[in-house]
Amino acid sequence: MAESFADVMQRAIGSEALEGAGDLGGKADFPLMPLGEAADMGFAQDGTPFFDPRIFYSAEFRRNPWPYYRILRNHYPVYFNKLNNTYYVTRYADMTECYYDDIGFNTIPKGSSNGVLGNVTHEFSGVEHRRRRNLFGQHLVGKALEHRVPAIERLAQEMIEAFPSLDESVRKVNGNVASVELGRAFAYEFPVRVVCDVLGFPKEAQHHFFYWYDSIMSGLGASETHKQGMEARQHLEDYVADLVEERRKNPGYLYDNEGNKLGLDIISKLCASRIDGDYLSSVEITSYIALVVAGGGETTRGTIMNMWYQLLQHPDQFAAVVADDGLWDAAFHETLRHSNPIGGQPRHATFDVELHGVHIPAGSLIEMVNFSGSHDERVFENPDNFNLFRSDLYSGKLLRSGYNKGGVCSHMAFGVGPHMCPGAWISHQEATIGSRILARHLLNARVNTDMMPKDIDGVSLAPIGINKLRDLWIDYDLA
């Protein structure tokens, strides 16, 4: 049986971490509340609700986070969590200001990811960041994105056509109805296959690619898997070194559906790129590849799963995207606003800062809580409701400066400003194109409620909260 979140957290941080929390009084158990309602943590004499940071490590918070973020936004917009020595910024406007202040709120903490990913752009700032980001970014926007479309369509079609051959643990058939687990059948592998293809790795490297991806992503999250991540990173670097030497002599290409050349693959483009007149080394190219893998894979996986889960629980909205597949863009943005699989971005304070009366010392770790910013009622009406038709969410072309266009704000899933997630455009493209093709094949799609976990009432489907949806069983009619 899978461990509960509470058990995993307790094992990860150890009982001493909570029992020795000073005036916090040790571990606390919080009741599972109706969605949208917060557990009673007490009130000050003036009526201000107290906030117990141990809630962050509870199963209640994982499934029902929004009322607790609302308490933070309304009463503690800059909250110091004593348990992890981190300041949380939770309002949309404050986060935006911090994201754009690349001096006062410097780049993410050094070493938080470069041990596995390498010397990546999001750990640079200022001029050095802009030079590298612009070099890298040109391969992720504009024509470069258009050249990826045939590969995305082809790989999505290939995976869906292979559904009938899937093991019964992933796909079952009962008469004219099939049931498929979307994660293992499609969402988990699809973005990794696409990235492998458009980067320019040969077909035979695909089995290596899944090992690199899974190990590197695991290595980012915990010390016990860091060694595995480092080993995979070294294996990737060794492989890329030989591939780079080959591509410097014989560039690779992306092709359209008729076999015509569209342009160089990303590895071949990186081989021809220079910084300060010098060609990129194989180590630098490996770091770029690792960042594309991390940025374009994990977010896409989670977004496809969360998007389909939310849409299928809102049949009118799902019917709308099926009737007009141009609405998948709006569904993508609303999913990342409402049920973002990536929760926030860390920063360091370059010097002493005061925000909302809270003194943040230089060098402090600050978490921009994207989850909370995207649910800020100061920006979005009824923010806890999933609604792809909302008029207050910007869902056009992704822009680093596009957080507010004509009074319509973007979600905070990718951040904004100079360090906006470089995988944003990749994730958007893969999730929307893949979902359009899926919807054409999964006729009359609906959630298989018998196969899905229930909420505390034993009837309603379990909410996503700030968890990542791991399984999604969908029934659909066979043609």
**What is the C-alpha separation between 138 and 226, in angstroms, rounded?**
31
Where in the chain are the domains?
A: 1-64, 80-165+182-432
Beta bridge partners of 372: none
With a pLDDT cut of 70, the percent of the chain lying above it is 81
**What is the C-alpha separation between 126 and 124, in angstroms, rounded?**
7
Contact 220, 113 (CB under 8 A): yes
**Token pair for residue 359?**
């003194």
User: Over the stretch 419-428, which tens digit does the pLDDT of each residue have?
Assistant: 677 677 788 8
Report DSSP letters for 146-186, one per residue. Answer: HHHHHHHHHHHHHHHHTGGGS-TTTEEEETTEEEEEHIIII
Categorize the per-residue pLDDT at 479 as very low, low, confident or very high, splitting at 50, 70 and 90.
confident
Model pLDDT, residue 474: 98
Burial 246-257 (b: 16+ CB within 10 A, else e): ebeeebbebeee
**Token pair for residue 270?**
């990186």
Categorize the per-residue pLDDT at 230 as very low, low, confident or very high, splitting at 50, 70 and 90.
confident
What are the Cα distances from residue 476, in Å, to 159, 169, 173, 390? 16, 16, 10, 28
**Token pair for residue 17?**
């971490």
423 versus 187: which is more confidently predicted? Answer: 187
**What is the C-alpha separation between 7 and 352, in angstroms, rounded?**
37
Contact 272, 399 (CB under 8 A): no
Mean pLDDT of 184-188: 95
Categorize the per-residue pLDDT at 322 as very low, low, confident or very high, splitting at 50, 70 and 90.
very high
Report DSSP letters for 346-395, one per residue. Answer: EEEESS-EEETTEEE-TT-EEEE-HHHHTT-TTTSSSTTS--TT-SSB--
Question: Among 67-81, 191-205, 414-428, which range has the highest average pLDDT?
Answer: 67-81
Q: Please state, rounded to an integer, the average pLDDT across all residues of the chain.
A: 83
**Which residues, including other chains, have CB under 8 Å from residue 172's CB and lie 6 or more apart?**
178, 179
Q: What angle do CA 293, 211, 5 make, to 5 degrees?
A: 80
N- to C-terminal Cα separation, the chain:
36
Residue whose structure tokens are 């290409």: 253
Categorize the per-residue pLDDT at 234 as very low, low, confident or very high, splitting at 50, 70 and 90.
confident
Mean pLDDT of 303-329: 96
**What is the C-alpha separation between 114 and 341, in angstroms, rounded?**
21
**What is the C-alpha separation between 181 and 451, in angstroms, rounded?**
10
Query: Which value, in Å, is the radius of gyration of the alpha carbons in the chain?
Result: 23
Residue whose structure tokens are 């790795």: 201
- CA trace torsion 133, 399, 221, 215 (10° rounding): -70
CATH 1.10.630.10 is right for the domain spanning 80-165+182-432: yes
Residue 393 identity (one-letter amino acid): L
**What is the C-alpha separation between 259 and 150, in angstroms, rounded?**
10
203 versus 446: which is more confidently predicted? Answer: 446
**What is the C-alpha separation between 80 and 66, in angstroms, rounded?**
18
Contact 476, 443 (CB under 8 A): yes
Contact 289, 236 (CB under 8 A): yes
Model pLDDT, residue 253: 87
With a pLDDT cut of 90, the percent of the chain lying above it is 47
Model pLDDT, residue 375: 96
Model pLDDT, residue 13: 35
**What is the C-alpha separation between 53 and 473, in angstroms, rounded?**
35
**What is the C-alpha separation between 141 and 212, in angstroms, rounded?**
24
Q: Is residue 461 pLDDT above 50, yes or no? A: yes
Categorize the per-residue pLDDT at 139 as very low, low, confident or very high, splitting at 50, 70 and 90.
low
**What is the C-alpha separation between 381 and 383, in angstroms, rounded?**
5
Q: Around Cβ 161, how many Cβ atoms within 10 Å?
A: 10
Q: Which of 270, 297, 269 is nearest to 283 (CA)?
A: 270
Q: Which of 24-38, 60-74, 107-121, 357-371 has the lowest mean pLDDT?
A: 107-121
Q: Is residue 39 pLDDT above 50, yes or no? A: yes
Q: Is residue 25 pLDDT above 70, yes or no? A: no
**Which residues, including other chains, have CB under 8 Å from residue 131's CB and lie 6 or more apart?**
275
**What is the C-alpha separation between 346 and 284, in angstroms, rounded?**
23
**What is the C-alpha separation between 230 and 433, in angstroms, rounded?**
33
User: Over the stretch 286-304, which tens digit does the pLDDT of each residue have?
Assistant: 777 777 766 556 778 889 9
**What is the C-alpha separation between 193 and 159, in angstroms, rounded?**
10
Model pLDDT, residue 361: 95
For residue 376, with 0-12 CB atoms within 10 Å meaning exposed, 13-18 middle and 19 or more buried, which class applies? buried
User: Over the stretch 362-391, which tens digit does the pLDDT of each residue have?
Assistant: 999 999 999 999 999 999 999 999 999 999
Residue whose structure tokens are 């990235």: 195
Categorize the per-residue pLDDT at 176 as very low, low, confident or very high, splitting at 50, 70 and 90.
very high
Q: Is residue 127 pLDDT above 60, yes or no? A: no
398 versus 203: which is more confidently predicted? Answer: 203
**What is the C-alpha separation between 153 and 395, in angstroms, rounded?**
22
User: Over the stretch 327-362, which tens digit does the pLDDT of each residue have?
Assistant: 999 999 999 999 987 778 888 899 999 999 999 999
**What is the C-alpha separation between 195 and 148, in angstroms, rounded?**
9
Model pLDDT, residue 129: 53
Categorize the per-residue pLDDT at 317 as very low, low, confident or very high, splitting at 50, 70 and 90.
very high
131 versus 169: which is more confidently predicted? Answer: 169
Q: Is 468 helix (H, G, I), strand (E, B) or coil?
A: coil
Task: Kindly state the helix (H) or strand (E) to which residue 66 belongs, with its residue range.
Answer: helix 66-75
